[in-house]
Amino acid sequence: MQCSFITSIGNHTQKFESELPLVCIMGRSNCGKSSLINALANHKTLARAAKTPGRTRLVNLFDMNGKIVLADLPGYGYARISKGEQQKWHHLTNYFFDKHQIDRMLLLHDIRHFPGEDELAFWKDASENYQTTVVSTKMDKLKPRELKTAVANLEEFIRRHRIKVDHKVQVSSLKKTNIEQLREHLELK
């Protein structure tokens, strides 16, 4: 895997051009977005897994093996950020989605937390407009039986709210579980 950081986009004047499919990683702060990019890239520090939740305030773009461009977007629904900061988040992400052709959205959530209001609104919207993959992260944190329940609950949530999902996968960036499967799904090889 040959992966590299391309650029950061942080304001409305910037537009990124590429021939490669663009895949966005969306999820709450701290759900494991940057860690997933590092795991997919097989690189420890490519996306600099932030120590402080909510620190990533820019759209960070990565070339993944010359096959796709991954966009690491700022985390949403972080309770400790102010209303003003949340507005900035909406501004930046909506701008980014409008200006660029998005090939797929990776909808991340921490497997230990049942999807909440934030996920519901965002997932529903995203699934009506884009190809979507739900990625449940940090699966190493649950015991097999807990994992089974969590996956069943997630499936019920997706069914009940009629969210159109193309693919679902549970991963651990820490233990590298199902990372290869996700690479194949994203055609990174």
Ligand X SMILES: Nc1nc2c(ncn2[C@@H]2O[C@H](COP(=O)(O)OP(=O)(O)OP(=O)(O)O)[C@@H](O)[C@H]2O)c(=O)[nH]1
Q: Which residues bind Mg ion (CB under 5 A)?
A: 33-34, 50, 56
What is residue 109's DSSP assignment? E
CA gap 115, 33 in Å, rounded = 16
Instruction: Map tokens 């799904």 to a residue.
Output: 185
* Binding flag, residue 56, ligand X (CB under 6 A): yes
Asked if residue 138 binds ligand X (CB under 6 A), the reply is: yes
Neighbours of 160 (CB within 10 A): 9
Of residues 78 and 95, the one with the C-beta less far from Mg ion: 78
Q: Identify residues 58-117 at the interface with ligand X (CB under 6 A).
A: 75
> Which of 23, 27, 100, 104 lies at the binding interface for ligand X (CB under 6 A)?
27
> CA-CA distance, 63 to 52, in Å (whole number)?
25
Of 78, 125, 76, nearest to 102 (Cα)?
125
Exactly one of 65, 133, 136, 172 binds ligand X (CB under 6 A); that residue is 172
Among 20, 22, 49, 147, binds ligand X (CB under 6 A): 49
Residue with smaller CB distance to ligand X, 10 or 53: 53
Q: What is the dihedral of CA 139, 64, 189, 182, to 10 degrees?
A: 20
Shortest distance, position 49 Cβ to Mg ion, whole Å: 7
* Closer by beta carbon to ligand X, 132 or else 172: 172
